Amino acid sequence: MASRSNADAPVRWAVAGGGMLGMTLALRLREAGHDVTLLEAAPGLGGLVSAWRIGDITWDRHYHVTLLSDARLRAVLRELGLDASMRWVETRTGFYSGGRHHSMSSTPEFLRFPPLNAVEKLRLGATIFTASKIKDPGGLEQIPAADWLRRRSGRGVFEKIWLPLLRAKLGDNYRDASAAFIWATISRMYAARRSGLKKEMFGYLPGGYAALLEKLGERLRAKGVEIRTGAALERVSGTPGGGVTVAVRGDGERTFDRCAITLPAPTVSRLCPDLDAGEHALLSGVRYQGIVCASLLLKKPLAGFYVTNITDPAPFTAVIEMSALVDPDQLGGHHLVYLPWYVDAGDDVAFTEADASLQARFWPALKRMHPHLDDGDLAAFQVSRARHVMAIPTLGYSSKLPPRDTSVPGLHIVNSAMICNGTLNVDETVGVAESAAPELAALPPLAVAANRATPARA
């Protein structure tokens, strides 16, 4: 827990962004004795983990699982009295390759996996093992992921396995990703298997993330954090004499001693004109992968794999059968499937494609993969879009990040782009907040003329 060194002077903090990062940071700053206002643009808290209504159920708008090894997230769950309710399930992973489904959930299945010959399997296994043994991924940050994988696994494995997987997550941006991304992905997979029973156990909270958000929101309010939803920041600027002035759309300005901004890097650059040219350049240089993610409610199950990786051409980049993990009683007896399509944040064509057009492309492709489905099995189809999901781990990524403490006194950037040599997940995100909180909580207040509320500017 963060502790405040400047005991007699609470700092008035604004935390911008009510996703898991902003909520965790707001909680820790408040626990350290500061006055905290959490500002979130959306009508509710949660950001990428927020829930929505699809058909007659409420569940996460993006698929989420927790690993047994997600220690930082689970600590938060414990604080909220929720960890004991987590349900842990041994899941299966599939590959759709050459028009067929293959299970890849155990060593015997890996050895039987038809798309690869014996030498290729050996090289794939050796690549994964080598990556899992690397302790310091720093050197990998300078090597393109594709080069590293081709060299380690050979062309055949690269073309048949790695390339489709890289494209699935990073699209064409895979060319710019460093080998540290592969290391981080494999490390997370290994951590999942190391803890627990050497099996891949995935967990979820009954009620989904909505249940966690409700408890965390309650905890924040009970501790005295002021939560303002529907509060879209338009500008964050330095204030002569000290402090940071935050302009909220339609709601005027307020000055705080300090502001921690958890929004994506390009948004920070846009909202904070007072940052210096070097900071703007670094923030704009962080490139993002976005997602167009369809949720489907089905009357029938698919193949029982939580994740199906697709190596054949398809309009979506994987199939996530959530109901292979989540008990159907949580899902109104339906089968919930996500069809993610990861795209570049700047891909306007993808982000403006209508739901009906996406359904016309996705549903026939899913039926081809699962011929037992027919049109009567589709109970609902709904699409979520998010442009700034994951900062692309480009070459030398950790040396290209803007500083947390900016040139604007009192303005601090604490966002998920600060995850270096890791994958984007809630555990890492909470980790960014937890590691920043003690240092931020110890900062003194800046002189603020007044905590004034003025009418919105025209």
Ligand X SMILES: Cc1cc2nc3c(=O)[nH]c(=O)nc-3n(C[C@H](O)[C@H](O)[C@H](O)COP(=O)(O)OP(=O)(O)OC[C@H]3O[C@@H](n4cnc5c(N)ncnc54)[C@H](O)[C@@H]3O)c2cc1C
CA angle 169/171/173 to nearest 5° reads: 105
Among 26, 32, 48, 418, indicate the residue that binds ligand X (CB under 6 A): 48
List the alpha helices (DSSP H) in 233-300. Answer: 265-271, 277-285
d(CA 252, CA 228): 13
Interface with ligand X in residues 282-321 (CB under 6 A) = 291, 293
- 64 near ligand X, judged by CB under 6 A: yes
d(CA 53, CA 120): 44
- 20 near ligand X, judged by CB under 6 A: yes
d(CA 109, CA 113): 6
Among 15, 27, 41, 343, indicate the residue that binds ligand X (CB under 6 A): 41
Rounded to 10°, the helix 426-441/20-31 angle is 30
Q: Between 28 and 64, whose beta carbon lies closer to ligand X?
A: 64
Q: Between 18 and 238, whose beta carbon lies closer to ligand X?
A: 18
Among 32, 36, 65, 68, indicate the residue that binds ligand X (CB under 6 A): 65
- Shortest reach from residue 430's CB to ligand X, in Å: 9
Binding mask 320-349 for ligand X (x = CB under 6 A): --------------------x---------
Count of residues interacting with ligand X (CB under 6 A): 34
> Cβ distance 157 to 124 under 8 Å?
yes
33-41, 93-101, 145-153, 358-366 -> range binding ligand X (CB under 6 A): 33-41
Among 26, 29, 49, 157, indicate the residue that binds ligand X (CB under 6 A): 49
By the 10 Å C-beta count (0-12 exposed, 13-18 middle, 19+ buried), 119 is classed as exposed
- 232 near ligand X, judged by CB under 6 A: yes
- 19 near ligand X, judged by CB under 6 A: yes
First to last CA, the chain: 42
Cα dihedral across residues 344, 22, 384, 229: positive or negative: negative
- Shortest reach from residue 111's CB to ligand X, in Å: 28
Q: Between 146 and 244, whose beta carbon lies closer to ligand X?
A: 244
Which tokens belong to 362?
A: 């996705």
Mapping DSSP to helix (H, G, I), strand (E, B) and coil, where does residue 253 land?
A: strand
Binding interface with ligand X (CB under 6 A): 16-22, 39-42, 47-49, 62-65, 232-233, 262-263, 267, 291, 293, 340, 386, 389, 416, 424-427, 429
